[in-house]
Structure formats: structure tokens, C-alpha cells
A and B are shown apart, each in its own frame.
Chain A
Amino acid sequence: DSGVTQTPKHLITATGQRVTLRCSPRSGDLSVYWYQQSLDQGLQFLIQYYNGEERAKGNILERFSAQQFPDLHSELNLSSLELGDSALYFCASSVGRTNTEAFFGQGTRLTVV
């Protein structure tokens, strides 16, 4: 158990809909990272928050947004969903600003039908 909790584990939704994925980092970790893993792809970095503020942005679509709350949990919002958004979404956390040894949650499997 990495200490990073992601909910829900599975999500099935229709195209055009909006969903929210939730992540609770390890106790004491200030950074939260979101990654997307599509079929046969490596993990693609989406966005990082550090202590409530956006720190870095990767290949995140404009339809996607995230935030980190004062209690340090984070939510990833995916809107106007398309079939191609079906993927595993991982959250990771680390103590500091860099994810040199980030701890990953179990992921949320999103299926868009």
C-alpha cells in the first residue's frame, strides 16, 4: 500500500459527459501529480500541484482541469469526454516539489462509451 488513495477505481461514462477523479496523497506529501496511461502507452504526465498551487503542466487537454484543496487532496476534472479519453489515470504524491521518488495510487480506470 503506497498510502495514495484514488477514487473511484472504475468509472464508465458516456461521451460528452463530465467526471471527477479524486486523489488523497500520502500523509505529509505536498505535491500531487496526475498521469494518464492509455492502451500500449507509457504514463503521460498531465499536471502537478504543490501545496495548493499549480506547479507544472504537461500534456493536459483544455477539457481537463485539476485542483488541489487546502487539505491537499486533489481532483482531476474531465469534461466533454471522448472515446479516446478512456485510460488509466494515476495520481502520485511526493514530499517535495520534484517527483524523484513519487508514490503512486492504484489508478482510476475510465471507460468512455
Chain B
Amino acid sequence: DQQVKQNSPSLSVQEGRISILNCDYTNSMFDYFLWYKKYPAEGPTFLISISSIKDKNEDGRFTVFLNKSAKHLSLHIVPSQPGDSAVYFCAASRLNYGGSQGNLIFGKGTKLSVKP
């Protein structure tokens, strides 16, 4: 049973445009969400996070939106740059519970290609 789903395996965007990566989750107990970026031959790198008490968090070109009623979050990258081309993983956690429930549950990732 996949608790965190990224239904788009890939996304192609033109440089300078907006990239929107989507993520759905099924467990309403998740209270903390993160996005990680991964380049080939490297480990995932933390990008941005959001607590369930918020609906938006912004960091430079990256904004994460959380819609708790729809159990949906999205990552917006504006403007997109060729260097953003990578695999993006959505992850969720039950931060306040700890133990194995507090660990990150990852989606399968979306490969973003930003074309010059």
C-alpha cells in the first residue's frame, strides 16, 4: 500500500517557465512533508518542507503548497532552470509520533527535465 504517491514519473518544462510537481498521500496522520531533489550518482538533497499547520512555504524559487483536505501537496519552481533537472521525491512523516511512524515515507519520484 503506497502511502505517498507521485503519479507523474516525468515532467518536461521549458527554461523560465513554472514547474509543478504533484504528490498525493493517503494517511491523514501525516503532519510533516518534505521535498528532496536527487541528481544521478548522488544522494537525495533536502529542498523544502512544510508542516501540516501551514498551507504554503516559500524559499526562493521554490514554493510548496499543502491542501490537507485533498491530501495533496505540490512543489512549484519558478522560474525553472536547466540545473533544476533532477528527480524530485516527495516524503511525508508523522513527526509528532516518533519511532518508525516518525520516519520518512517517500514517493517514487518525478524526473524533471528543464529544456533550455
Binding site for B on A (CB under 8 A): 2, 4, 6, 33, 35, 40-45, 48, 55-58, 90, 92, 97-107
Chain A residues with Cβ below 8 Å from B98 are 56, 97-98
Say how far B49's CB is from chain A's closest CB, in angstroms: 7
Q: Which residue of A lies closest to B42 (CB)?
A: A106
Question: Bound state CA distance, A55 and B100, in angstroms?
Answer: 8
A-B residue pairs in contact (CB < 8 Å), sample of 20: A40-B108, A41-B108, A42-B106, A42-B108, A42-B109, A43-B91, A44-B106, A45-B100, A45-B103, A56-B98, A56-B99, A56-B103, A90-B44, A92-B43, A97-B102, A98-B93, A98-B95, A100-B34, A104-B36, A104-B43
Contact-residue size bin, chain B (C-beta under 8 Å from the other chain): 20 to 34
Contact A104–B108 (Cβ < 8 Å): no
Chain A residues with Cβ below 8 Å from B104 are 43, 45, 99, 102
Interface positions of B from 84 to 105, Cβ below 8 Å from A: 89, 91, 93, 95, 98-100, 102-105
Which of B4, B43, B109 interacts with A2 by CB under 8 Å?
B43
Binding site for A on B (CB under 8 A): 4, 32, 34, 36, 41-46, 49, 89, 91, 93, 95, 98-100, 102-109
Say how far A22's CB is from chain B's closest CB, in angstroms: 15
Question: Bound state CA distance, A41 and B106, in angstroms?
Answer: 9
Contact B103–A58 (Cβ < 8 Å): yes
| Residue from the set A33, A41, A90, A102 with the largest chain B CB neighbour count within 10 Å | A102
Contact B46–A103 (Cβ < 8 Å): yes
Contact B95–A48 (Cβ < 8 Å): no
| Residue from the set B34, B43, B49, B108 with the largest chain A CB neighbour count within 10 Å | B43
Say how far B80's CB is from chain A's closest CB, in angstroms: 23
Chain A residues with Cβ below 8 Å from B109 are 42
Which of A42, A92, A105, A106 interacts with B4 by CB under 8 Å?
A42
| Residue from the set A6, A43, A104, A107 with the largest chain B CB neighbour count within 10 Å | A43
